[in-house]
Amino acid sequence: MTTLSIFDQSVPESPRVVTEDSGKIANLLAEHGVRFEQWSTRELPADASSDDILQAYSGEIQALKAECGFQAADVISLNPDNPQKEAFRQKFLDEHVHSEDEVRFFVRGQGLFYLHFGDQVYAIMCQKNDLISVPDGTRHWFDMGPEPAFTCIRLFTNPEGWVADFTGEDIASRLPRYERLAGVAG
């Protein structure tokens, strides 16, 4: 289940708010310019290719491109048997920003986005059916867990794809990781 946990930066060991109410999650995120929606997913074979996935969601992708000016879309998918899973996890675990919105639609599985707003951190356990769009310049990081199992469609305004500017802050190391919050999410 999709879960939002809100932490005060000064008390990073326990959240002050936890909710699984998708409407409340959308409203709390919208206060910070973050788009959160839940879309219907398609039934696709387990071995569906990136092209198959992009084709299955072509209507939604084209609508987002037209609405937001995205130029490119791709698919990222990781499974627990990936020999580079730890390197992939580490790549996204430090706080960073982008010069464009970071958009993810979860076709399968789950992952944890952390969004840093002032002295608060919002941790959103995104699940299959969740669309999140993190505005450019938003301090954030992503934790896919030690045994990643997800497939996401990503959209970009920069045709080169994912480009991060790391903040150098250590906040990501002070908050509970995926392993603990996945337990909160059930």
Helix (H, G, I), strand (E, B) or coil at 86: helix
Task: Answer yes or no: is 32 a known binding residue.
Answer: no
Task: Answer yes or no: is 140 a known binding residue.
Answer: yes
Task: Answer yes or no: is 98 a known binding residue.
Answer: yes
Which of 149, 146, 186 lies closest to 46 in space, CA to CA? 149
**Residue 73 structure tokens:** 């879309």
Burial level of 157, CB count in 10 A (0-12/13-18/19+)?
middle
Task: Answer yes or no: is 102 a known binding residue.
Answer: yes
Residues 138 and 69: their CA atoms lie apart, in Å, by 19
DSSP label at residue 124:
E
Annotated binding site for Ni(2+): 96, 98, 102, 140
Annotated binding site for Fe(2+): 96, 98, 102, 140
Annotated binding site: 96, 98, 102, 140
